Structure 1
Amino acid sequence: MSWLRQDGSDWVLSLYLQPGARKTEVAGLHDGALKLRLNAPPVEGKANKALIAWLADWFGVPKQGVVLESGELSRHKRVRVVGTGRDPAGLLP
């Protein structure tokens, strides 16, 4: 899968975000990335915080285990998830 790669015991995800959505959910694939709708506005880092919290909950890791590697101010983001046994392929509907 082009949006997903394993790096040792970590997972690295390529994401495309749609902030300001009615609810946070996976919306499929978009241009080689996993598309997520976020129920958070794209202001003052709120969407990034919501993304990290949602991914930490889904993967069952602490928030410190979700690292935003690139795309802090972009809809396109690369996120590293550390220390999970859960396969991110399960994110796809």
Structure 2
Amino acid sequence: MQNAWNVTADGVRLAVRLTPKADRDAIGGIIAGDGGHMQKVRVRAAPEDGKANDALLRLLAEALALPRRCFDLAQGASSRRKLVDIAGDPPAILSALEHLKVPRS
């Protein structure tokens, strides 16, 4: 299975395919997209005034057991395809991300 992330100088960059206005907040599997592999994420928040983006970052922070301040939306503020920078120790972040992996959906 391919990964949806790359190690950077400051941590890890995660590619995300976000679905706002979902029935529940959830992190799904790795999916293949036009730009490569992405982590599938759904949030209940609507895509208005940055609410869905904030919900995405809070959900990732909770799932990876990292402080919210470690997460930054690097690209895709108004797109379903997003790049999220996660600041910190890459091996620790990668270990947490490995636990999120589920079969492709």
Deviations 1:22-63, CA, capped at 9 Å, x for gaps: 111122233121111112111111100101111111222221
Give the counterpart letter for 2:78 in structure 1.
Answer: L
Match in the other structure for 1:71:
76
Match in the other structure for 1:28:
29
Query: What 5-or-longer segments of structure 1 have no aligned partner?
Result: none
TM-score (norm 1): 0.87
Most deviating of 9-18 and 65-74: 9-18
Percent of residue pairs bearing the same amino acid type: 28
Match in the other structure for 2:14:
13
Hey, which bits of structure 1, 4+ residues long, moved more than 3 A? none
What is the root-mean-square deviation of aligned Cα atoms in Å?
Answer: 1.6
Query: What 5-or-longer segments of structure 2 have no aligned partner?
Result: none
Q: Across the two proteins, how many residue pairs are aligned to each other?
A: 93
Most deviating of 80-89 and 31-40: 80-89
